[in-house]
Structure 1
Amino acid sequence: MDSNLSSQKRRTLAPQREVGRQRVAELLEAAAEVIQERGFEATTMAEIALRADARIGSLYRFFPSKDAVADALMDRYATVLAAAYDAVRDQAGSATPEQLADILIELLVQLHPQARAVTALLDSRTDWTQIRLRFRAQALAGVRAALKANAPGLAEAEADDIAAVVLNNMKTMVGMMRKDAPTTPGAPDQLRLMNRLYLGAKLTPARP
């Protein structure tokens, strides 16, 4: 049997012991770094193992192929994203709209390092369009839940619209940080102010 075909059929190994889970986390961190730098197609399993200071056999023990590594990275990001938005929703109830604006901006800034690897993965494969849409829907739902927790009286349709605006502003902030979007030294602070004023105006009338 072809060894490559055999490795593709093997399932990703889910470690049961803490030491194994730590090893998997280190391998995925290394994979994310290499993929960010080189892109998914150019990344090799050997490079991932080298970056993790692990034997190549250890990498293949947990991940039978590079696609398995990619799947694990996307699953991990979905889990991290869900936990992060749950935490924001929990804070939103006791925050002012202006504070919530800052919390949401900081969230995407914090998630940015992990998001870069996922973006590189999604950009490399046209057949991952549905996964891209899933992440977008997850982010929109997370922002929307935070808005409703802060302003329970917000109309459903308006909550959807505001969530889309806020998410785009969050992405613009990351673009400014990466110098991918037009920016000046003071522009990020102006964007933060704009978000505070916007959410203050939209959410305050719908708060108890």
Structure 2
Amino acid sequence: MNTAVWTDWDSTWIYSLVIDDPDTLNNPKARRQWISDVVQSLLHILEPFATPREVEVSTLSQGEEAFVIRRDDPEYSSKLIQYLSRTDDVTDVDFILTLHCYEVDENLNGKEIEFEIGGAIYLVIELDKDRNIRPSSKGKDDSPIWMSIHLYVDIHAPLLRKTKKSEETARINAPLLKNFLKRLESHLPVELSEVDAAPYLLEYLESI
């Protein structure tokens, strides 16, 4: 890895899922369908920014990694949705992401590269012991249903010590991230709660 062009950095976006009537999701059938729909939407809007390398589902009754499926299973998406559609007490759906990016050579020509564990998405559904959605009285800052997006590599903005190679790398890669976030915010009922990322990354995304 050429650290003159990108670095390892954990950037995080946290979104609250907005539900008009959260009590409706205390109906197991309605909640199963809602979670399945959200996950299907995520699988659709991720590309071309990223693809899931692995998806791990946790449940209240079976704990962490109650169901795990990898991308190399040719039926991974249908098996994942089938599991979510029949499981009443899902608490977490974790997507381990392969990021699809571009690096540039000394002549500023780009070629595709992948970061195998370059990021993750954690969808959290907080249930009480009775398998009901945890009540909330503090608005989006205390939402019982939320999602965090993590990037473990900083390739989407020029580094502070800018070079032509760094700037061209960012110019190609930044739209992949920005367009993914736009799709997320337009296709899912989310509100941004918190961002923890390098200021120069946020400024660069805002500028394009």
Name the TM-score, length of structure 1 as normaliser. Answer: 0.32
Q: Which has the higher strand share?
A: 2
Structure ranking higher on relative contact order (CA contacts 8 Å, 6+ apart): 2
Name the TM-score, length of structure 2 as normaliser. Answer: 0.32
Bigger radius of gyration, 1 or 2?
1
